[in-house]
Structure 1
Amino acid sequence: MQEKHQDLLYSLHDKPNAVACLTAAFQHMLASFIGVITPTLIISATLGLTEHTAYLICMALFVSGVGTFIQTKKIGPVGSGLVAIQGTSFAFISALLLAGMKVKNEGGSSEEILSLLFGLTLAGAVVEVVFSLFVTQLKRIITPLTTGIVITAIGLSLINVGMTDLAGGFNAESFASLDNLGLGVSVLLIIVFLNASNNHWVRLSAIFVGMTVGTGYVWVTKGLDFSHLTTLPAIAIPQPFAFGISFDITLFLPIALIYLFTAIETAGDLTANSLFCKEPVSGPLYLSRIKGGILGDGLNSMIAGAFNTFPNTTFGQNNGVIQLTGIASRKVGFFVAGMFVFVGLFPAVGGVLQAIPKPVLGGATLVMFAMVAVGGLKLLASYALDRRSSLITACALGMSIGVMMVPSALSQLPTWLENVLLSPVTSAGLTAIILDLTLPSAPQTTPQEASESAPKTQGEV
């Protein structure tokens, strides 16, 4: 047992003190905060919803807190019982923008756009809820091979986000400047070297210290911009269906399909989470967690649609925090949930966190995202990679990386199919599942047949 948990400071059912919980929870929140609010920022800016942006961000954070509590607590059959942080999913951005643009081009108001987007969010969540009921019967699909591939693809796709932030952030004027690169790499190195320490408190606070040092350096040398705080309301009150609800069946299919594929992504995230927590990645307990986690995702997305935000999913980047800090305790998940709810109710708190320089955030998240990919590779390494499974892995990861590098290769596909396959995780997962179901398995050979088929030495010949 000691050897099994030697990489963990606190395992799943341990109860660290409040200081350890707060430190770890804060790092979880920092790792996922930008991911939670970024889809809302993109959708709001693209569709011209700027007058509602502050409220939409608050609701995204509030629902993330509620969803994280449900996933961690495991209420009846709902939830995984792991520290599975919930957040707004990037996978739905293209499909939601397509729906919003249709309303906007028809002369619809901001409220009408949001009404449709939240209606689609609610309806699509039902698909994931129904899918979760049958997931334990899909053992042929959710295997160590397919989930290992999906976890690796999740890590690889997140690395792109981390590297972009390290260089200064998307469309930044100073993108790739030596100052940004130097700052980001310095934060990364601080985290790596602190994490290598044998002192568990140093290891626990590695991410926090790295980001604090990086942010402090920028504050002293260049200053931080807090001007956006003046435009934020003092408090945001969650109001169900604040913009009404509407539905369009023609725009529903892409949303429904993406819900199915994000469920597979969630299975991969929860497998990685179990792996890092030293919990089983096969058997009844594992399948129960996968089923409960996907059901939790679906119900949390229904809550998201009701409380004026976009589809939620289990975040993969927090698995890297568990790996780096060595804290897998569910108690930390409750602290994270409380922090998100608090930040969602008081916009100024979130506004302060938004001021963290992108290179600092990128330096911290890059190593965490890479650790997620390494977790997937570890799972694949535990699987007997014969010629068949090696081909499946190569094709799936090739499709995933190919979509990331050349997204325009899908531009001639129907829009709904392009929106689905543009997700590297979806492309990898679909490829792995289809090949695993259709590619013939290697015939089983007896020891005698294996001996007869083995190459003979010159003396034997």
Structure 2
Amino acid sequence: MTRSSVPDTQALPQEQPLSHTTLLLSGLQHLAIIAPIGLVFPLLVLRAADAGAVLQEAMITASLLALGIGSIVLCLRRRALGSGFLCPAVFTAAYLPASLAAAQNGGLALVFGMTMFAGACEIAFSFLLRRLRAYLPVEIAGLAVVMIGLILGLIGFRLLLGLDSHGEFQAGDLEPGALEVGLFALALVVGLNVWGKGRLRIFSVLICVALAYPLAWGLGQVDLSDFQAAQPQHLLALPHLPLLLPAFDWTLAIPFAAGALACALRATGDITTCQKIAEADWVRPEMGSIERGVRADGLGTLLAGALGTVGMNTFSSSIGLSQATGIIQRRVGFAIGGLFIALAFSPFVVMLTIGMPEPLTGAILIFSSAFILANGLSIIVARLLDARRILTIGIAIVFGISHDVFPPFYDHVPLWLKSITGSALVVALVTALALNALFRIGVRQSASLDRPLNKELLPALVDFCREKGALWGARRDVMERVISGLTEAVELALGRGVSDSPVRVHLHYDEFRILATVSFEDAPEQAPVHSEEETEEAPDTSELEFRLMRHFAEKVALSHQQGYTRLKLLFDS
């Protein structure tokens, strides 16, 4: 049975049990990095809509419920829904430009309706992933992970140093001791993760928050005066939601659909990272899990719009944190979801979370972004890259970074371009998708090498395989196995074939396998005695070449026809 025929449920890892204490503390640790950043985007949209206090409280409550439900749905392991990994949800910048435009033009009702539309678009994309796989190769998913790591790292750097959105330092706006608190938090979480052992390493972020938050509070960097005045009446409260009828505007359909595609690709990259972390023998992305995860991600966004908040996506920082701590069980995702739902009943915890100092949040983001970047780069370099793929990824990264380096330029792009230039992630992905589609012109998935049967065939074969593997973006280790298997096939041909007679090596590639065929003319003393019809025979396993070919390839078949021998080797890719 090949890898592609293994049922999806068998491809998912078995979970190790967690104690209730570890489960709760792990959920709290993830909540500590999701909540401060996650609630920023709803707040920005509320300000753009000039919403009143009651509506603000209702939308924040809806946001907490959406984060809880979305995280649970993403971590499910069902036949048609859920990634099956620890992959919680967070509000995303991919929808922010479109949501701000909707808030300014039609108020929160339009934001909610268009968010529901975006969720439906992402659900639709989940059913097209396999068909569009050639246009959404693995390295673009890796690019999405890299850009997310860069974006989160830059956001963390700005928060740590008190920079504004244009990268300018405002010394008067930085609280006394804020930079020191941020650097202390960053040094603490890094030190615990590098030199700490056991629970110190596992709960490094939670320990960092527990020590740095009181320090910031003591230095006057936490302002909860508005909450303290209302604390006696709002210690606990039943959640209430924005009661607004969703609206729709066709002029915003393209920006929200573009955001949905970016979220689908980001979810693809994040779930690919989860698979890579969870499976020691990871070979390639398992599409069943990715499709179900993207579907769950779209459903989470649709439900977020229905509840009364903005769009969501998978959270790369939590995935980076799970790799750093080693706790990757999806049950933690259910704990995260339950904690967010519980927060919707507690204004005290909500305000305490929102009040987290920016330098502390920045330190946590920088810490998590390092692991995200490493995962994205490993996904990209696991493939052989030719000039086309190098240019696709390289130019896309440059264009993506330019969004944050030169924001005034993107503030003045024509209106029709704003839908695809709203964030660094969208810019990079749109650039990569366009270049990938363009560079596919003239690329064939099959190739042949015709050479005389002599010793010069071997170096030509190696160059041929590496060139085609880079052109197709095949994995490096797979192409090395192809080269080794075909080398043994050529050695067999040199021993059985007619010297200097024509030899054809044919390769056919798809995302799942490489089929290699070697055809050569038999020497008279080696020709088998049987009819001229093609037959299959079991090779003599005593011969070293056959043994080695069977070691490198998943399947080896030998046939004879009209004085020619044909070897077929199948390699899972």
| Shared fold, TM over 0.5 | yes
Instruction: Quote the Cα distance in structure 2 between the aligned partners of 1:205 and 1:287.
Output: 32
Superimposed CA distance per residue, residues 309-366 of structure 1 (whole angstroms, 9 cap, x where no aligned partner)? 1111111111121121111011111111111111123222111122222111211221
2:130 is matched by which residue type in structure 1? T
Structure 1: which 5+ runs fail to align?
Answer: 1-10, 104-112, 455-461
Q: CA deviation at 1:451?
A: 7.7
TM-score by length of 2: 0.70
Superimposed CA distance per residue, residues 57-108 of structure 1 (whole angstroms, 9 cap, x where no aligned partner)? 11111111011111112343111111111122222121122122223xxxxx
Q: Is the 8 A contact 1:36 1:61 kept in 2?
A: no
Report the counterpart of residue 114 of structure 1 in structure 2: 108
Instruction: Quote the Cα distance in structure 2 between the aligned partners of 1:389 and 1:200.
Output: 41
Segment drifting more, 115-124 vs 274-283: 274-283
Report the counterpart of residue 512 of structure 2 in structure 1: none
Correspondent of 1:148 among 139, 142, 147: 142
Aligned pair 1:46/2:44, yes or no? Answer: no
Aligned pair 1:273/2:274, yes or no? Answer: yes
TM-score by length of 1: 0.86
Aligned pair 1:199/2:193, yes or no? Answer: no
Instruction: Quote the Cα distance in structure 2 between the aligned partners of 1:317 and 1:118.
Output: 26
1:383 is matched by which residue type in structure 2? R
Correspondent of 1:449 among 456, 460, 463: 460
1:386 is matched by which residue type in structure 2? D
Report the counterpart of residue 256 of structure 1 in structure 2: 257
What SS is found at the alignment partner of 1:196? helix
Report the counterpart of residue 22 of structure 1 in structure 2: 24
1:45 is matched by which residue type in structure 2? R
Q: Is the 8 A contact 1:59 1:238 kept in 2?
A: yes
Q: Is the 8 A contact 1:65 1:340 kept in 2?
A: yes
Instruction: Quote the Cα distance in structure 1 between the aligned partners of 2:203 and 2:256.
Output: 39
Instruction: Quote the Cα distance in structure 1 between the aligned partners of 2:262 and 2:216.
Output: 40
Instruction: Quote the Cα distance in structure 1 between the aligned partners of 2:416 and 2:20.
Output: 47
What SS is found at the alignment partner of 2:365? helix
Report the counterpart of residue 215 of structure 1 in structure 2: 213
Pairs within 5 Å for 1:28-39:
28-39=30-41
Aligned pair 1:299/2:317, yes or no? Answer: no
Q: Is the 8 A contact 2:83 2:289 kept in 1?
A: yes
Q: CA deviation at 1:223?
A: 6.6
What SS is found at the alignment partner of 2:135? coil
2:255 is matched by which residue type in structure 1? P
Superimposed CA distance per residue, residues 406-460 of structure 1 (whole angstroms, 9 cap, x where no aligned partner)? 1333345442532322321122222222222322559968545368999xxxxxx
Cα RMSD between the aligned structures? 2.6
Segment drifting more, 162-171 vs 149-158: 162-171
Q: Is the 8 A contact 2:185 2:360 kept in 1?
A: yes
Report the counterpart of residue 180 of structure 1 in structure 2: 178
Pairs within 5 Å for 1:218-237:
218-222=216-220, 224-229=222-227, 230-231=229-230, 233=234, 234-237=236-239
Instruction: Quote the Cα distance in structure 2 between the aligned partners of 1:416 and 1:13.
Output: 48
Instruction: Quote the Cα distance in structure 1 between the aligned partners of 2:50 and 2:316.
Output: 29
Superimposed CA distance per residue, residues 148-192 of structure 1 (whole angstroms, 9 cap, x where no aligned partner)? 111101100111211122124758765567732222121111111
Q: CA deviation at 1:273?
A: 2.4
Instruction: Quote the Cα distance in structure 2 between the aligned partners of 1:173 and 1:58.
Output: 34
Q: CA deviation at 1:200?
A: 1.9
Q: CA deviation at 1:28?
A: 0.8
Instruction: Quote the Cα distance in structure 2 between the aligned partners of 1:68 and 1:390.
Output: 35
Report the counterpart of residue 107 of structure 1 in structure 2: none
Structure 2: which 5+ runs fail to align?
Answer: 1-12, 450-457, 467-573
Report the counterpart of residue 341 of structure 1 in structure 2: 341
Aligned pair 1:61/2:55, yes or no? Answer: no
Superimposed CA distance per residue, residues 197-222 of structure 1 (whole angstroms, 9 cap, x where no aligned partner)? 36221111111112222112223343
1:264 is matched by which residue type in structure 2? L
Instruction: Quote the Cα distance in structure 2 between the aligned partners of 1:27 and 1:358.
Output: 17
Instruction: Quote the Cα distance in structure 2 between the aligned partners of 1:60 and 1:180.
Output: 28
Aligned pair 1:133/2:136, yes or no? Answer: no
1:119 is matched by which residue type in structure 2? G
Going from structure 1 to structure 2, the CA distance change for 1:451 and 1:402 (only over 3 Å counts) comes to same
2:377 is matched by which residue type in structure 1? L
What SS is found at the alignment partner of 1:322? helix
Q: CA deviation at 1:291?
A: 0.5
RCO higher in 1 or 2 (8 Å CA, sep ≥ 6)?
1
Q: Is the 8 A contact 2:186 2:364 kept in 1?
A: yes
Aligned pair 1:320/2:331, yes or no? Answer: no
Q: CA deviation at 1:50?
A: 3.4
Report the counterpart of residue 497 of structure 2 in structure 1: none
Instruction: Quote the Cα distance in structure 2 between the aligned partners of 1:311 and 1:380.
Output: 28
Aligned pair 1:124/2:118, yes or no? Answer: yes
Going from structure 1 to structure 2, the CA distance change for 1:122 and 1:321 (only over 3 Å counts) comes to same
